[in-house]
Amino acid sequence: MVMKMMMRGILAACLAMPIGLVISADAGAQTAKNLKCKGCVGSKDIGKNAVRGKHIKNNAVTSSKIKNGTIKAEDIAAGVLGSGGQVLTGGFNQGAAFANGFTGPGWTTTLAPDYPDTGEGEAAIQIRMPAGTLSNLRVHVQTENVPSSGSLIVMVRINGADTALTCTVTATGDCTSTASIAINDNDRLALEITNSFPDEGNWTLTYSIERS
Q: What value does the mean pLDDT of the chain take?
A: 82
Residues 6+ apart with CB under 8 A from 36: none
Q: What are phi and psi of 99, to 5 degrees?
A: -120, -40
Residues 6+ apart with CB under 8 A from 158: 181, 183, 187, 188, 189
How high is the pLDDT of residue 10?
A: 55
Q: Return the exposure string of 33-60: e unless at least 16 CB atoms fall within 10 Å of the residue's CB, then b.
A: eeeeeeeeeeeeeeeeeeeeeeeeeeee
For 67-97, write each residue's pLDDT tens digit: 766 776 557 665 455 444 899 999 999 987 7
How high is the pLDDT of residue 77?
A: 60
**Cα–Cα distances in angstroms (integers) from residue 172 to residues 63, 69, 94, 203, in the given order:** 49, 46, 14, 9
* CA–CA separation, 112 and 122 (whole Å): 8
Q: Between 204 and 14, where is the model more confident?
A: 204
Query: Domains of the chain by range and CATH?
Result: 95-211 (2.60.120)
Half-sphere exposure of 23 (CA within 13 A, CB side): 4
How high is the pLDDT of residue 130?
A: 96
For 133-184, write each residue's pLDDT tens digit: 999 999 999 999 999 999 999 999 999 999 999 999 998 899 999 999 999 9
Q: Would you say residue 24 has pLDDT above 60? A: no
For 103-131, write each residue's pLDDT tens digit: 999 999 999 999 999 999 999 999 999 99
* CA–CA separation, 66 and 140 (whole Å): 43
Asked if 161 and 181 count as a contact pair (C-beta separation under 8 A), the reply is: no
* CA–CA separation, 156 and 173 (whole Å): 19
Q: What are phi and psi of 120, to 5 degrees?
A: -100, 0
Asked if 140 and 203 count as a contact pair (C-beta separation under 8 A), the reply is: no
